[in-house]
Amino acid sequence: MDMTRERLLAEAFVDTADTLVEDFDVIDFLHTLAERCVAILDVDAAGIMLADPAGVLHATASSTENARLLELFELQSEVGPCIEAFTTGRPVVNIDLRASAVRWPRFAEAAGATGFVSAHALPLRLREQVIGTLNLFCERPGTLSEADVRTGQALADVATVAILAHRSFRHADLLAEQLQYALTSRIAIEQAKGVLAERRGISVDEAFTLLRGHARSRNVRLSDLARAVANGTSTDTELLGTA
């Protein structure tokens, strides 16, 4: 492993340790995890799905808009590598989406439309408990090395432990509470991205980068800022690009 990749991996585990603080922002943590996976592993995009208290998966964080759209399609069609990894609790890797027309015809077609040709899904698991999946997408053919699969699963496992451990600090029912918070925050973030993209004349990915950077520079929760933008209660001219 080269020094840059080793440093990024170390930073990913440091990010995980930061979840032990009381004001842990689960949405920002998951987006950071997706970005770290793209930087560390030989993939072009990453996304994370979390299950709600009823066991229904939801697209919660992603490194690009295309990854999010593909995950949403997979959830709607209820088939694909991510669904299979969540259901079985086992990694589903090195899937050639161009050759998956028989196995997952609708998903393979949607993947082609987003430019991805291969996919990998790793369960977010702790022993027998699976709370979601880490999904990796590639725009070029090829396989994920055994070392990258182990590294990706390690990141997924540590993230799972961090999320569950943080919830156990407060109350036994915090798992359901934080999962629901993450899912409702996701809606506000998507709405805020749309508002910023339209107002600033930028792409959805650029809008999210702007929103997230602004939240960090102001030391406010990403979800709180997104709600203010989405609800029209934010008057931040620097963010909104207004005179």
DSSP assignment of 28-65: HHHHHHHHHHHHHSS-SEEEEEEE-TTS-EEEEEESSH
Q: Which residue has the higher pLDDT, 13 or 218?
A: 218
All residues at 6 or more sequence positions from 113 whose CB lies less than 8 Å from its CB, including other chains: none
- For the cut 80, the answer to whether the pLDDT of residue 238 exceeds it is no
**Helices 26-40, 174-200: inter-axial angle, 10-degree rounding:** 70
Structure tokens at 217: 């520079």
Instruction: Name, in order, each residue with C-beta under 8 angstroms of 93's C-beta and a sequence gap of 6 or more.
Output: 120, 121, 122, 143, 144, 149
Q: How confident is the model at residue 17 (pLDDT cuts 50, 70, 90)?
A: low
One-letter amino acid identity for 240? L
What's the pLDDT score for residue 133? 96
Three-class DSSP category at 80: coil
Q: Where are the beta strands (DSSP E) in the chain?
A: 45-51, 57-62, 92-96, 118-126, 129-138
- Kindly indicate the confidence band of residue 22, based on its pLDDT and cuts at 50, 70 and 90: low
For residue 96, how many other CB atoms are within 10 A of its CB?
14
Those residues whose C-beta lies under 8 Å from the C-beta of residue 70, and which sit 6 or more positions away, are 47, 110, 111, 114, 116, 137
Residues 164 and 131: beta-carbon distance below 8 Å: yes
Using pLDDT thresholds of 50, 70 and 90, give the confidence band for residue 98: confident
* Tokens (6 digits) for 59: 């697209």
> pLDDT tens for residues 170-216?
554 556 666 777 778 888 999 999 999 999 999 999 999 999 999 99
pLDDT score, position 176: 67
- pLDDT tens digits along 110-144: 888 889 999 999 999 988 889 999 999 999 888 89
CATH hierarchy code of domain 185-240: 1.10.10
* Mean pLDDT of the 162-177 span: 63
* pLDDT tens track for 45-88: 999 999 987 889 999 999 999 999 999 999 998 999 999 999 99
Looking at 3.30.450.40, 3.40.50.970, 3.30.360.10, 3.90.1150.10, the CATH number of the domain 3-170 comes to 3.30.450.40
In percent, the amount of the chain with pLDDT more than 70 equals 87
Say if 3-170 and 185-240 have the same CATH topology.
Answer: no
Q: Where are the domains of the chain?
A: 3-170, 185-240
* pLDDT of res. 11: 73
Rounded CA gap, 80 and 63, in Å?
A: 19
